[in-house]
Amino acid sequence: MTIDKSLKVRRGAVGSRSVLTRAERVQKLQEMERWEDGQSPIGLPKVRVKKLSLKKKKKKAKEEDEGDKKKKK
């Protein structure tokens, strides 16, 4: 049986997750020094997930590059 095109996951379609697994939350808490050994993993405090955003290149940089290329020719 084949999968419908709309249900397939594209290569670049995997975005950032907004929910962490329990192990990831414990790891983050250890990094922030909010986790003690022997503490119960049930009822963990909330951990903020930072979203990555890519900055767009400025148009000025592109125009300068194009201007340099024209001068070289």
**Could you report the per-residue pLDDT of 43-73, keeping only the tens digit for each?**
898 888 877 666 776 666 666 666 655 555 5
5-37 tens-digit pLDDT: 877 777 655 666 778 899 999 999 999 999 988
Q: φ, ψ for residue 33 (rounded to 5)?
A: 60, 40
Residues 28-56 as b/e (b if ≥16 CB within 10 A, e otherwise) read bbeeeeebeeeeeeeebeebeeeeeeeee
Q: Tokens standing for 7?
A: 């249900």
